[in-house]
């Protein structure tokens, strides 16, 4: 393995001093990918273009940021690398550093005026990518350095919705501290509280309620947090929502109530809890709703 690595370095050095600019550029990109700072510096001194690209439009800066090679990133920036350059997928060095959780590199790139709100072809920002990968420190750095906490992707998801669904309490706290919108809705009308309730993220549900999220907020199918928690069997979350004033007799688009949903899914403890809280029996049951349109559409497919 050691001999193979030495052989690769030999080939890179040979290419670096080639008369062809393309070969020098390829050598520079390859040296960035293995994190060899001395070799990277030597290839630059031989005349390689710091902004040369590979077939996927990656520059040496993008490659180094993706791999977490802070030393190469620093050198590339000093040599004039374009910090907001993107590859064929629309990913900049900052997006990939955030995705990888490389907080030092994120700081370095923003200090070099990297745009914290560049959007890739999947409509993700650095903040969204850091949330997806649960990089708490990177999320906080991005927010502190100006990343937009209100940004919505192509499905109208915000970072707060995503963190609430995943149960990332620390990230939710950071996003809320920087003013994330509690009431924003995605393409199905679900807000952060609805997402948290559906997945039984009780601590996040409490945090959102304490911050003023609507306990009876509805998505486009009129599902409320207590309905989603009852349907999914999250007993403790249902208890919390009842204690916070949730309407136990609310009806959604198919005319189901939280009690009907709990009974349909066999969540007996939740059904008992709802009855004790004043839920009324009666109303259409699932097998009585066969017909057409929305009434036949399963709740999970509408969420």
Residues 83-105, mean pLDDT to the nearest whole number: 99
Domain holding 31: CATH number? 1.25.40.20
With a cut of 60, say whether residue 225 has pLDDT above it. yes
Tens of pLDDT, residue by residue over 97-109, are: 999 999 999 999 9
pTM: 0.88
* Residue 288: band (very low, low, confident or very high) from pLDDT cuts 50, 70, 90: low
Tens of pLDDT, residue by residue over 233-285, are: 999 999 999 999 999 999 999 899 999 999 999 999 999 999 999 999 865 55
Question: Considering the domain boundaries, does residue 23 fall inside one?
Answer: yes
Question: Considering the domain boundaries, does residue 281 fall inside one?
Answer: no
Give CA torsion, residues 22, 26, 28, 32, to 10 deg: 160
Tens of pLDDT, residue by residue over 166-220, are: 999 999 999 999 999 999 999 999 999 999 999 999 999 999 999 999 999 999 9
Question: Considering the domain boundaries, does residue 149 fall inside one?
Answer: no
With a cut of 80, say whether residue 147 has pLDDT above it. yes
Q: In this predicted structure, what is the pLDDT of residue 9?
A: 52
Q: How many domains is the chain built from?
A: 1
Question: Considering the domain boundaries, does residue 7 fall inside one?
Answer: yes
Q: In this predicted structure, what is the pLDDT of residue 281?
A: 82
Parent domain of 16: 1-93+102-112
Question: Considering the domain boundaries, does residue 152 fall inside one?
Answer: no
Considering the chain, what percentage of its residues have pLDDT values greater than 70? 84
Tell me which of 50 and 282 has the higher pLDDT. 50
Alpha carbon distance 236, 98 (integer Å): 34
Question: Considering the domain boundaries, does residue 135 fall inside one?
Answer: no
Question: Considering the domain boundaries, does residue 275 fall inside one?
Answer: no
The least confident of 1-5, 252-256, 287-291 is: 1-5
Question: Considering the domain boundaries, does residue 122 fall inside one?
Answer: no
């Amino acid at each position: 393995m050691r001999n193979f690595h030495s052989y690769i370095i030999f080939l890179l050095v040979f290419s670096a001093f080639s008369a062809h600019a393309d070969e020098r550029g390829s050598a520079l990109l390859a040296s960035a990918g293995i994190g060899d700072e001395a070799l990277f510096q030597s290839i630059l001194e031989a005349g390689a273009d710091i902004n040369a690209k590979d077939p996927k439009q990656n520059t040496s800066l993008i490659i180094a940021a993706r791999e977490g090679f802070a030393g190469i990133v620093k050198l590339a920036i000093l040599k004039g690398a374009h910090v907001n350059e993107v590859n064929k997928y629309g990913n900049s060095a900052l997006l990939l550093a955030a995705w990888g959780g490389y907080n030092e590199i994120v700081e370095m790139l923003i200090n070099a005026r990297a745009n914290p709100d560049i959007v890739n072809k999947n409509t993700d920002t650095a903040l969204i990518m850091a949330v997806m990968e649960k990089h708490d420190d990177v999320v906080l750095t991005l927010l502190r350095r100006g990343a937009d906490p209100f940004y919505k992707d192509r499905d109208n998801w915000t970072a707060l919705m995503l963190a609430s669904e995943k149960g990332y309490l620390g990230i939710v706290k950071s996003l809320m501290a920087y003013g994330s919108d509690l009431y924003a809705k995605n393409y199905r009308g679900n807000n952060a509280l609805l997402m948290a309730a559906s997945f039984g993220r009780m601590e996040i549900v409490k945090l959102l309620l304490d911050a003023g999220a609507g306990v009876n907020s509805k998505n486009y199918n009129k599902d409320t947090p207590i309905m989603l928690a009852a349907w999914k069997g999250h007993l403790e979350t249902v208890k919390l929502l009842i204690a916070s004033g949730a309407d136990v007799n609310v009806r959604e688009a198919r005319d189901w109530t939280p009690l009907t949903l709990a009974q349909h899914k066999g969540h007996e403890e939740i059904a008992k809890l709802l009855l004790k809280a004043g839920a009324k029996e009666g109303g259409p049951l699932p097998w009585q709703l066969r017909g057409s349109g929305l009434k036949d559409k399963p709740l999970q497919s509408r969420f």
